[in-house]
């Protein structure tokens, strides 16, 4: 908390204070940005902010529009989020990154405020209550989450091996829904479901437990190349742990090469396959 400033307007505060709070926080962030610092500002959440603005507008007798919001509600959030910037070295080199949070009603991302904010931002991470309650955490819905930055933010090794994941997860969700109504599945469908379950399993992550990118590359490679298909589902996370420990001990050059170069050469890939097959023997006896 030494580097954190909280501007709070709780539910018990008056609507004008709830309305002005995000702008106050942004002004504080801009001060640090203009001093050459890198700032992250989190707006929690803009749904309540829009509701406070709606209350003010109705009290001022402005004409209501869709969902009783005033016509300039888009401008309300665009002028706030567009204050996020990266300054040139000439202007001090500071930055302000905005992370707005939006609450959806019954998972409806097509509502007025969510669609407004989605159209402004550089993508979104959609967290699903149903996935969270089923034990899949972080509960990111890959189908509704979008990155407009895309592979530009990934290292080359990740870009090379992670491509099929999004499509396979989307296909898995469709097949999983379909399979509930059918007890007789063909082998190909069963294989797709098994592959999807294993990809979902490796994407689980404990709270406050970030994973180094080289470890991400190794386990995603094992999943996308279907080395996990004959390992029991409840052993996947144990396999992941054992793989990282085994590679660190026997093949330390693999994570080192991925970490330093950002790429996976043919030689490193060959060693990784060998390591996966060696540790896999313990799980398929």
Query: For the residues of 27-40, what is the DSSP string, one character each?
Result: HHHHHHHTTT-EEE
Which tokens hold the place of 141?
């819905």
pLDDT at 170: 82
0.85 exceeded by the pTM? Answer: no
Which tokens hold the place of 57?
């507008």
pLDDT at 242: 94
Contact 120, 77 (CB under 8 A): yes
Q: Which residues of 109-139 are buried (b: 16+ CB within 10 A; e: fewer)?
A: eebebbebbbebbeebebbbeebeeeebeeb
Name the CATH code of domain 156-280 (choices 1.20.150.20, 3.40.50.150, 3.40.190.10, 3.30.70.270): 1.20.150.20
pLDDT at 5: 95
pLDDT at 149: 79
For the chain, give every domain's residue range: 15-121, 156-280
Contact 50, 19 (CB under 8 A): no
Architecture in CATH of 15-121? 3-Layer(aba) Sandwich (3.40)
Ramachandran category for residue 106: left, alpha or beta (phi over 0 → left; psi -120 to 50 → alpha): left
pLDDT at 35: 94
Read off the pLDDT of residues 207-238 as tens digits, 9 standing for 90 and up.
899 999 999 999 999 999 999 998 999 999 99
Ramachandran category for residue 112: left, alpha or beta (phi over 0 → left; psi -120 to 50 → alpha): alpha
pLDDT at 172: 87
- pLDDT-flagged residues of the chain (< 70): 182-183, 285
| Spatial CB neighbours of 172, under 8 Å, sequence gap ≥ 6 | 192, 193, 195, 196, 197, 199, 200
Compute the distance between CA of residue 219 and CA of residue 279 in angstroms, rounded to an integer: 12
pLDDT at 107: 83
Q: Collapse the DSSP code of 98 into the 3-class scheme (helix H, G, I; strand E, B; otherwise coil) and give the result.
A: strand
Catalytic residues: 148
pLDDT at 146: 86
pLDDT at 182: 66
């Amino acid at each position: 908390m030494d580097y954190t400033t909280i501007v709070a307007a709780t539910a018990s505060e008056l609507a004008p204070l709830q309305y002005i709070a995000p702008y106050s926080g942004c002004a504080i962030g801009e001060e640090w940005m203009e001093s050459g610092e890198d700032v992250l500002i989190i707006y929690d959440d803009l749904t309540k902010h829009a509701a406070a603005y709606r209350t003010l507008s109705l009290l001022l007798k402005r004409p209501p529009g869709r969902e009783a919001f005033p016509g300039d509600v888009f401008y309300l959030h665009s002028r706030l989020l567009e204050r996020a910037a990266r300054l040139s070295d000439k202007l001090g080199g500071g930055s302000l990154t905005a992370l707005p949070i939006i609450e959806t009603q019954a998972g409806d991302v097509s509502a007025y405020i969510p669609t407004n904010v989605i159209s402004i931002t550089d993508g979104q991470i959609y967290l699903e209550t149903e996935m969270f309650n089923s034990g899949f955490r972080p509960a990111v819905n890959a189908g509704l989450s979008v990155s407009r930055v895309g592979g530009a933010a990934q290292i080359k090794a990740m870009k090379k091996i992670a491509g099929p994941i999004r499509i396979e997860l989307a296909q898995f969700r469709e097949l999983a829904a379909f399979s509930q109504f059918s007890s007789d599945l063909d082998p190909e469908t069963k294989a797709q479901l098994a592959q999807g379950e294993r990809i979902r399993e490796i994407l689980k992550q404990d709270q406050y437990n970030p994973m180094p990118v080289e470890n991400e590359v190794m386990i995603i490679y094992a999943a996308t190349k279907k080395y996990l298909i004959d390992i029991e589902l409840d052993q996947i996370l144990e396999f992941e742990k054992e793989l990282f420990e085994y590679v660190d001990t026997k093949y330390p050059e693999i994570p080192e090469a991925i970490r330093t170069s950002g790429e996976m050469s043919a030689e490193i890939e060959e060693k990784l396959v060998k390591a996966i097959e060696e540790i896999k023997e313990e799980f398929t006896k």
